C-alpha cells in the first residue's frame, strides 16, 4: 500500500533525537497552556507559533502539532480537578470526571481521560492514514442544510436523551440560544441586542461563560458548603493506571461508539464540541444504569474524551485537505502552515507528500509520547487536591480571571465571567442543567446561520432538509431522538408486555 | 520612571546605528491586528509580514498576530479605536473600514486612526464550479434561465462581495440569491461542493481549489488584466483571466490592504512604521506573496495615502448607497 510506505518514510524522517526533543518540549508547553483555563489551545498555539519561525518546516510542524496534542491532553486536567473546562470540548468531561475527583478517584479519572484521548486520537489518525482522500470528498457534501441537520441532531439528542427534566433542559437551552444571538448577525450584517455597547459587539464569548458557569460557581458552592475540596488525593501508583487499563476492554462499545461519533463530527467542520456532548449522551443512553451517570462513573469520562479527541484529530483532515479549520486551535495551525508556504487545499496531499506524511507520522509519535508524559505527571496534578482549599481557591479565581481576560484582552469579560459565576450558582441551586446552556451558546449562532442560509438557498421551503439522503437521514434521526422518550415508552410498553408473559426476567 | 529611560536608551541605540531614522522604536511586542478570521486573506498577509519582519530582522521586538474577527471585524475596529496613543498595535485594514460604519452603524471612523501606508490592492474574480458554465455569457444565461434560486456565495453581508453581487445583477439583469458565509475559505469549499453556483472571492481565497481544477475563474473585476503571467494551473496564468468589461459586464472593484496605527500616536512612532512597512515591501517574502496571491503591489503613505483613502471612501460610500446597504 502506498500510504504505508509513505508513512514509514515519515517515521524515518522523524526518528532523530532532535525531533524527539522538540516533541517533548512542544508537549510540555502544550499541557501547560491546556491546563490554564481560558488560555487554552488556540491562544497557547498562537503565542508559541512565532517560536517555530526559525525552524525548518518539518521540525516546526512537529513542534506545533505536539503543542496541539499537549493542549488537548491538558484540557482534561482542570475539568476533572476543579470542574473548569480548559477547552470547549472538555465541558462534558466535567460531568463525571469532577465527581470522581471529589470521591478521591482523581488519579483514576485522569488516567481514564488520558487513555481515552489516546484511543480516540489513534482511531482518528488511522482513519486519516487510510481514508484521507475519500473523507475529504465526504466533507464537501456538507452545505448549509446538512450543517443545520447536524446541529439539530446535537440539540435534539440533548433534549431527548438527557436525564434532567425536559422543561429545564429546554429553558436552559433557550437562554443559551438567546445569549448566542448577541452581537453581529452575519446573515443580515446588522447588530443585535448590543444596546449600543461596544463591549457587547463581540457577542458573549463561550469560554468566558464556561469559566464562570462551571469554575466560579463551583467555588461559590464549595465556600457555602464546607470550605474544602472534597477530593482526597488517593494513593497514586502504577496500579491505578494498570487498573484502569485492565478495565478498558469492558468499555469497548463506548470507546468505539465515541470514536465513530468523533471522527464523523470532526470531519464536518466545527463538530468537535458537539461530538463530546453527543458521545456522552449516547453512552448514558445505552448504559445499563443511566442514573449513575453524573455521579462519578468512569464511562462518563471515557465517552466524551474519546469523542472529543477523535474529532479534534480528524478535524485536522478538513484543515489540510480543504483549508477549513475544524476547531480554533486547528485554525491557528492553519495560519502556521501558510507561513511556510504550505497552502492547505486539495493539492497539499499531492505536492507536499513529505510534509503531510511527516505530519501524520508525528501524530502517531506525538500521541504515544504525549500519553507517557501525561501519565507520569498524573501524580503531580492529582496532588494539587491535597493543598487546602483556602490556598487553592484564590489561585483558581485568579487563573480564571486571567483566562477570561486573555481570550479577547478585555476587562469586560472578567466581569462577565463573574456574572456567569453567579448565574451558574443559581442554576445549580434550582436544578437547571448548565450543559444545554453552554451547548446552545456555542452552537446557537452556527445553527441559526446554517438554517437561514438553507432558507435563502431553497427559497424558503423546509423540504430542503429532506432534499437528499444525507441530510434527510440526519434530520429524521434528530427528530427521532427528540421524541425518543415517547418512542422508548411505546417500545418499552410492548417489551414489558412480552417480558411479563415470561415472568419478570429483567429484574434481579 | 523606568519606561522613559528605557525608551531613551533604545532611541539612542537606534540613532547611533542608523542616524537617518526617526528616533523611536517599539519597546514591547507589536501586535498586528487582523479584522478577520483565521486563514482568511488578512490573516495570511499578517503572517507573511510577521515572518518577513522576523526573518529579515527588521525590528528588534517580536511581532504577534492578534485575530479580532468578532462581529465581522468590527471587534478589531473598536479595539483600535479604544487603543488611542498605543504605538504597539497596527491594524491590517481593508474595505470594512468604510463599509461597516455604514451598514451596521458601528461608531467608527478611519480618520480617528493614524494612517501608515497602503501596502497592496486586492482583486476580485467571478468564479464558478468547473462543471458549470465556461464563459461569462453562458453563466449569465444560466442564471437567467434558472428556476430555483441561483446561489452566489460570499463573505459577510452588506460588504464588498455582496456589493459586487448587487452590481452584477444590475449590469446583467440576472437574479442571484446571495448567501453570506463567515469567510472566503468557506465560500470556496461551498462552491467546490456545488452548494452555491458562484462566488466573487479574492484570488488568494480560491487559489488552491483553482489549481486543483475544481473551480473556474470567469472574469476579473478590474480595468485591466492581472499582470502575473507565470502559469498557476497547467494551462492558465492569472493574466489569462479576461476582465469582466472584456466579457461585456462593466463592473470594477479593487480593495485596499492598508496599515493603520491607533489615533494620537507621535509623528516619530508613525515614521517608524512607515519605514518598517516600506522595508517589508522590499523583502523577497512580500514580493513572492504578491505574485502568488495575485495582489497589486502599491506603496502609498503620507498625503498620497490620505488622498487615496478619501477618494476610496467616497467611492465605497456611493456604491453602498446605490446598493441600498446604508443603515438609516
Q: B286-310: per-residue pLDDT in tens?
A: 999 999 999 999 999 999 999 999 9
**Residues B143 and B213 both lie in one domain:** yes
Report how many domains make up chain A. 1
How large is the average pLDDT for residues B157-182? 94
Instruction: Please check the confidence at residue B3 and state whether its pLDDT lies above 50.
Output: no
Residue A191's beta-bridge partner residues? A184
**CB atoms near residue A379 (< 10 Å):** 15
Q: CA neighbours within 13 Å on the CB side: how many for A324?
A: 26
What is the number of CB-based contacts under 8 A between chain A and chain B? 153
Does one domain contain both B101 and B204?
no
Mean pLDDT of A337-345: 71
- β-bridge pairing B198-199 and B151-155: parallel
For residue B47, pLDDT beyond 50: yes
* Range A41-69 average pLDDT: 73
Give the side-chain half-sphere CA count within 13 A for A273.
24
* pLDDT tops 80 at residue A462: yes
C-alpha cell at A298: 468512569
How high is the pLDDT of residue A228? 55
Residue found by looking up cell 410498553 in the block:
A493
A242 touches chain B (CB under 8 A): no
pLDDT recorded at residue A245: 85
Q: Is residue B44 part of a domain?
A: yes
In the predicted model, is pLDDT for residue A459 greater than 50? Answer: yes
Cβ atoms of residues A91 and A214 within 8 Å: yes
- Residues with Cβ < 8 Å from B215, sequence gap 6 or more? B127, B128, B129, B130, B188, B191, B192, B206, B209
Q: What is the pLDDT of residues A389-444, one digit of tens each?
A: 777 788 778 878 887 887 777 889 999 999 999 999 999 899 898 878 888 887 88
- Chain center to CA of A495: 36
Which A residues in the span 389-448 are in contact with B, Cβ-Cβ below 8 Å?
408-409
- pLDDT above 90 coverage of chain A, percent: 12
Look at residue B275 and tell me if it is in a domain. yes
The percentage of chain A sitting over the pLDDT mark of 70, rounded to a whole number, equals 84
Q: Are B192 and A139 in contact (CB under 8 A)?
A: no
Q: Could you report the predicted ipTM of this complex, rounded to two decimals?
A: 0.85
Check residue A503 and give its pLDDT: 43
B114 in helix, strand or coil? strand
- Which residues are CB-neighbours of A381 under 8 A, at least 6 positions away? A35, A77, A81, A110
Is A184 in contact with B159 (Cβ distance < 8 A)? no
Burial string for A200-216 (b: 16+ CB within 10 Å, else e) reads: bbbbbbbbbbbbbbbbb
Q: B-chain residues within 8 Å CB-CB of A457?
A: 149, 151, 177, 179, 195-196
Q: What does the block give as the cell for B54?
A: 522576523
| End position of a domain, from candidates B216, B240, B264 | B240
Cβ-defined contact of A335 to B185 (cutoff 8 Å) = no
Domain count along chain B = 2
Q: Let me know whether B117 and B134 are in one domain.
A: no
> Kindly report the CA angle at A203 between A213 and A161, in degrees rounded to 5?
50
Residue B19 predicted with pLDDT over 50: no
CB burial string A284-309: b at 16+ within 10 A, e below: bbebeeeeebbebbbbbbbbbbbbbb
Task: Quote the CA–CA distance of A409 and A411 in Å, as a whole number.
Answer: 7
- Binned at pLDDT 50, 70 and 90, residue B15 comes out as very low
DSSP B238: G
Closest approach of chain A CAs to the CA of B231, in angstroms? 16
CA distance linking residue A159 with residue B29, whole number of Å:
47
How many angstroms separate the CA atoms of A26 and A373, rounded?
11
The residues that bridge with B92 in the sheet, in sequence order, are B34, B259
Query: Of B185, B213, B240, which residue sits at a domain end?
Result: B240
With an 8 Å Cβ cutoff, is B233 touching chain A? no
* Residue A232: per-residue pLDDT: 52
Neighbours of A171 (CB within 10 A): 16
Residue A141 near chain B (CB below 8 Å): yes
- The three cell numbers of residue A170 are 429546554
Residue A320 CB-density burial (10 A; 0-12 exposed, 13-18 middle, 19+ buried): buried
Q: Are the beta carbons of A143 and B190 separated by less than 8 Å?
A: yes
Please give the DSSP secondary-structure letter assigned to residue B243: B
Distance CA A149, CA A447 (A): 9
A334–B189: do the CB atoms touch at under 8 Å? no
Chain centroid offset of residue B14 CA: 32
Q: Is residue B96 part of a domain?
A: yes
Region of B59 (left: φ > 0; alpha: ψ -120 to 50; beta: rest) is beta
Would B249 be classed as within a structural domain? no
Q: Mean pLDDT for chain A?
A: 80
Mean pLDDT over all residues of chain B? 90
Candidate ranges A196-205, A233-242, B2-11, B218-227; pick with highest mean pLDDT: B218-227
Residue A508 lies in a domain: no
Q: What is the CATH number of the domain that holds B191?
A: 3.40.190.10
Contacts of A92 (CB under 8 A, 6+ apart): A276, A277, A279, A280, A303, A304, A308, A435
Res. B118: pLDDT tops 90: yes
In a 13 Å sphere around the CA of A4, the CA atoms on its Cβ side amount to 1
* Dist CA A410 CA A428 (whole Å): 27
Residue A504, in any domain of the structure: no
Closest CA to A148 of A439, A468, A453: A453
| Neighbouring-strand partners of residue B127 | B199, B217
Nearest CA in chain B to A50: B64
Interval A52-79 mean pLDDT = 78
One domain for residues B36 and B144: no
For residues B224 and B187, membership in a common domain is answered with: yes
Q: In angstroms, rounded to a whole number, what is the distance separating the alpha carbons of residues A29 and A42?
A: 13
Range of the domain at A240: 2-499
Considering the domain architecture, whether residues B59 and B33 belong to the same structural domain is answered as yes
**pLDDT(A508) > 50:** no
User: Count of CB atoms within 10 A of residue B303's CB?
Assistant: 8
Residue B250 is assigned to a structural domain of this protein = no
Mean per-residue pLDDT, B111-128: 96
Interatomic CA distance for residues B220 and B242, integer angstroms:
6
Residues A251-281: b if buried by 16+ CB within 10 A, e if exposed: beebbebbbbbbbbbbbbbbbbbbbbbbbbb
What pLDDT was estimated at residue B196?
Answer: 96
Q: Looking up cell 472534597, which residue turns up?
A: A230
Flag whether A506 is in a domain: no
Cα of B257 vs its chain's centroid, Å: 4
Which range of A33-42, A202-211, B115-124 scores highest in mean pLDDT? It is: B115-124
Q: What's the CATH number where B44 sits?
A: 3.40.190.150
The full DSSP string for A304-361 is: HHHHHHHHHHHTHHHHHHHS--SSHHHHHHHHHHHHTT---STTHHHHTHHHHHHHHH
- pLDDT in the model for residue B297: 92
Where do we find the cell 506545533? A64
Q: How confident is the model at residue B166 (pLDDT cuts 50, 70, 90)?
A: very high
Nearest to B127 by CA among B80, B78, B168: B168
Q: Name residues whose C-beta falls within 8 Å of residue B314's C-beta, 6 or more positions apart in sequence.
A: none
Model pLDDT for residues A228-255, shown as the tens digit of each residue: 555 555 455 677 788 888 888 888 888 8
Quick one: pLDDT band at residue A499, thresholds 50, 70, 90?
low
Q: Which residue has the higher pLDDT, B31 or B11?
A: B31
State the average pLDDT over residues B118-145.
96
Nine-digit cell at B189? 469549499
Q: Which residues of chain A neighbour B79 with C-beta distances below 8 Å?
A: 409
B107 plus B160 within the same structural domain: no
Q: Is A455 in CB contact (< 8 Å) with chain B?
A: no
CB atoms within 10 A of CB A20: 14
Tell me chain B's radius of gyration from C-alpha atoms: 21
DSSP calls for A468-483: SHHHHHHHHHHHHHHT
Among residues A124, A117, A119, A107, the alpha carbon closest in space to that of A30 is found at: A117
Are residues A186 and B149, on separate chains, in Cβ contact within 8 Å? no
Inter-residue contact A439 to A176 (CB < 8 Å): yes
Rounded Cα distance between B296 and B161, Å, is 19
- Provide the 10 A C-beta neighbour count for residue A412: 16
Asked whether residue A39 is assigned to any structural domain, the reply reads: yes
Phi, psi of B122 (to 5 degrees): -105, 145
Query: Which range, A91-105, A267-281, B8-22, B158-172, has the best average confidence (pLDDT)?
Result: B158-172
When mean pLDDT is compared across A166-180, A365-379, A472-486, B271-285, the lowest value belongs to A365-379
Residue tagged 474595505 (cell numbers): B95
A 9-38 → B contacts, CB under 8 A: none
Asked whether residue A477 is domain-assigned, the answer is: yes
Residue corresponding to grid cell 465526504: A138
Q: How many CB atoms lie within 10 A of CB B89?
A: 18
- DSSP code at position A237: S
In which band, very low, low, confident or very high, does the pLDDT at B229 lie, cut at 50, 70 and 90?
very high
In tens, the pLDDT along A5-53 reads: 777 877 887 778 888 888 888 888 888 777 765 555 566 666 667 677 6
Q: Is B263 exposed, middle or buried (0-12, 13-18, 19+ CB in 10 A)?
A: middle
Do the Cβ atoms of B6 and B13 come closer than 8 Å? no
Test B48 with A339 for CB contact under 8 angstroms: yes
Answer with the one of B240, B275, B294 that is the final residue of a domain. B240
Q: Which of A374, A376, A456, A474 is nearest to A148 (CA)?
A: A474
Q: Which of B 47-76 lie inside 8 A of A, CB atoms?
A: 47-48, 50-51, 54-55, 62-68, 70-72, 74-75
Q: Which of B50, B40, B34, B9 is nearest to B276 (CA)?
A: B50
Structural domain boundaries enclosing B222: 125-240
* Helix segments in A409-483, DSSP class H: 411-430, 435-458, 469-482
Q: What local confidence, expressed as pLDDT, does residue B95 receive? A: 94
CB within 8 Å of chain A, chain B residues 254-293: none
Q: Which residue has the higher pLDDT, A480 or A6?
A: A480
| Beta carbons of B215 and A493 less than 8 angstroms apart | no
**Structural domain includes residue B247:** no
Q: How confident is the model at residue A269 (pLDDT cuts 50, 70, 90)?
A: low
The rounded distance, in Å, linking the Cα atoms of B120 and B49 is 12
Interface test mutation site (partner B, options A49, A197, A204, A345, max chain B beta carbons within 10 A): A345
Residue A325 has pLDDT above 70, yes or no: no
Amino acid at each position: 500500500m502506498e500510504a504505508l510506505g509513505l508513512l514509514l518514510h515519515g517515521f524515518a524522517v522523524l526518528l532523530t533525537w532532535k525531533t524527539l526533543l522538540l516533541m517533548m518540549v512542544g508537549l510540555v508547553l502544550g499541557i501547560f497552556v491546556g491546563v490554564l483555563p481560558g488560555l487554552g489551545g488556540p491562544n497557547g498555539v498562537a503565542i508559541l507559533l512565532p517560536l517555530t519561525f526559525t525552524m525548518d518546516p518539518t521540525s516546526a510542524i512537529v513542534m506545533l502539532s505536539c503543542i496541539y496534542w499537549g493542549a488537548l491532553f491538558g484540557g482534561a486536567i482542570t475539568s476533572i480537578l476543579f470542574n473548569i473546562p480548559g477547552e470547549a470540548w472538555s465541558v462534558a468531561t466535567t460531568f463525571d470526571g469532577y465527581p470522581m475527583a471529589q470521591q478521591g478517584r482523581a488519579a483514576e479519572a485522569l488516567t481514564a481521560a488520558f487513555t481515552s484521548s489516546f484511543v480516540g486520537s489513534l482511531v482518528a489518525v488511522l482513519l486519516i492514514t487510510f481514508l484521507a482522500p475519500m473523507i475529504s470528498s465526504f466533507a464537501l457534501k456538507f452545505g448549509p442544510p446538512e450543517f443545520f441537520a447536524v446541529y439539530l441532531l446535537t440539540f435534539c439528542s440533548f433534549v431527548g436523551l438527557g436525564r434532567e427534566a425536559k422543561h429545564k433542559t429546554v429553558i436552559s437551552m433557550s437562554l443559551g440560544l438567546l445569549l448566542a444571538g448577541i452581537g453581529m448577525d452575519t446573515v443580515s450584517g446588522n447588530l443585535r441586542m448590543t444596546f449600543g455597547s461596544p463591549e457587547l459587539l463581540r457577542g458573549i464569548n463561550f469560554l468566558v461563560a464556561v469559566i464562570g458557569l462551571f469554575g466560579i460557581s463551583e467555588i461559590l458552592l464549595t465556600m457555602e458548603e464546607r470550605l474544602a475540596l472534597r477530593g482526597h488525593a488517593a494513593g497514586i501508583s502504577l496500579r491505578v493506571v494498570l487498573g484502569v487499563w485492565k478495565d478498558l476492554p469492558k468499555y469497548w462499545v463506548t470507546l468505539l461508539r465515541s470514536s465513530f461519533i468523533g471522527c464523523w463530527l470532526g470531519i464536518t467542520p466545527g463538530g468537535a464540541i458537539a461530538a463530546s456532548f453527543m458521545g456522552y449522551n449516547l453512552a448514558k443512553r445505552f448504559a445499563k444504569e443511566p442514573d449513575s451517570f453524573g455521579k462519578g462513573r468512569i464511562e462518563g469520562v471515557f465517552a466524551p474524551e474519546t469523542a472529543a479527541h477523535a474529532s479534534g484529530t480528524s478535524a485536522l483532515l478538513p484543515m489540510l485537505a480543504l483549508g477549513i479549520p475544524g476547531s480554533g486551535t486547528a485554525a491557528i495551525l492553519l495560519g502556521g502552515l501558510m507561513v511556510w508556504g504550505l497552502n492547505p487545499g486539495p493539492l497539499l496531499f499531492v505536492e507536499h507528500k513529505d510534509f503531510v506524511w511527516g505530519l501524520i507520522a508525528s501524530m502517531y509519535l506525538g500521541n504515544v509520547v504525549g500519553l507517557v508524559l501525561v501519565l507520569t505527571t498524573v501524580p503531580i496534578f492529582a496532588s494539587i487536591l491535597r493543598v487546602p482549599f483556602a490556598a487553592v481557591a484564590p489561585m483558581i479565581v485568579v487563573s480564571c480571571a486571567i483566562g477570561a481576560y486573555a481570550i479577547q484582552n478585555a476587562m469586560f469579560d472578567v466581569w462577565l465571567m463573574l456574572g456567569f459565576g453567579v448565574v451558574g450558582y443559581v442554576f445549580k441551586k434550582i436544578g437547571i442543567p448548565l450543559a444545554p446552556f453552554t451547548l446552545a451558546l456555542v452552537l446557537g449562532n452556527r445553527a441559526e446561520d446554517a438554517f437561514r442560509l438553507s432558507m435563502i438557498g431553497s427559497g424558503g421551503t423546509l423540504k430542503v432538509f429532506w432534499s437528499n439522503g444525507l441530510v434527510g437521514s440526519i434530520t429524521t434521526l434528530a427528530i427521532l431522538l427528540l421524541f425518543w422518550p415517547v418512542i422508548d415508552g411505546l417500545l418499552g410498553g410492548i417489551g414489558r408486555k412480552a417480558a411479563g408473559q415470561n415472568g419478570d426476567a429483567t429484574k434481579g | 520612571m523606568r519606561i522613559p529611560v528605557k525608551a531613551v536608551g533604545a532611541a539612542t541605540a537606534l540613532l547611533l546605528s542608523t542616524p537617518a531614522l526617526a528616533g523611536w522604536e517599539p519597546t514591547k511586542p507589536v501586535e498586528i491586528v487582523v479584522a478577520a478570521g483565521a486563514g482568511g486573506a488578512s490573516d495570511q498577509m499578517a503572517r507573511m509580514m510577521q515572518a518577513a519582519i522576523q526573518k529579515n530582522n527588521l525590528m528588534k521586538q517580536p511581532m504577534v498576530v492578534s485575530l479580532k474577527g468578532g462581529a465581522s471585524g468590527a471587534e478589531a475596529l473598536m479595539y483600535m479605536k479604544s487603543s488611542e496613543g498605543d504605538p504597539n498595535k497596527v491594524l491590517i485594514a481593508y474595505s470594512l473600514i468604510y463599509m461597516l460604519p455604514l451598514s451596521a452603524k458601528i461608531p467608527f471612523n478611519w480618520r480617528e486612526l493614524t494612517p501608515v501606508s497602503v501596502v497592496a490592492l486586492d482583486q476580485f474574480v467571478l468564479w464558478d464550479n468547473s462543471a458549470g458554465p465556461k464563459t461569462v455569457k453562458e453563466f449569465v444565461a444560466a442564471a437567467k434561465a434558472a428556476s430555483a434560486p441561483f446561489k452566489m456565495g460570499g463573505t459577510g453581508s452588506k460588504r464588498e462581495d455582496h456589493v459586487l453581487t448587487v452590481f452584477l445583477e444590475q449590469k446583467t439583469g440576472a437574479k442571484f440569491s446571495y448567501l453570506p458565509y463567515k469567510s472566503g475559505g468557506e465560500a470556496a469549499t461551498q462552491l467546490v461542493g456545488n452548494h452555491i453556483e458562484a462566488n466573487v472571492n479574492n484570488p488568494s481565497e480560491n487559489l488552491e481549489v483553482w489549481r486543483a481544477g475544481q473551480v473556474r475563474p470567469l472574469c476579473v473585476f478590474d480595468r485591466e488584466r492581472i499582470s502575473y503571467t507565470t502559469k498557476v494551473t497547467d494551462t492558465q496564468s492569472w493574466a489569462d483571466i479576461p476582465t469582466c468589461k472584456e466579457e461585456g459586464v462593466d463592473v470594477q472593484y479593487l480593495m485596499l490592504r492598508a496599515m493603520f496605527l491607533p489615533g494620537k500616536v507621535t509623528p516619530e512612532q508613525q515614521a517608524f512604521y512607515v519605514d518598517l512597512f516600506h522595508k517589508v515591501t522590499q523583502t523577497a517574502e512580500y514580493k513572492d506573496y504578491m505574485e502568488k496571491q495575485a495582489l497589486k503591489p502599491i506603496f502609498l503613505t503620507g498625503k498620497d495615502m490620505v488622498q487615496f483613502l478619501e477618494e476610496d471612501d467616497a467611492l465605497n460610500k456611493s456604491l453602498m448607497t446605490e446598493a441600498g446597504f446604508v443603515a438609516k
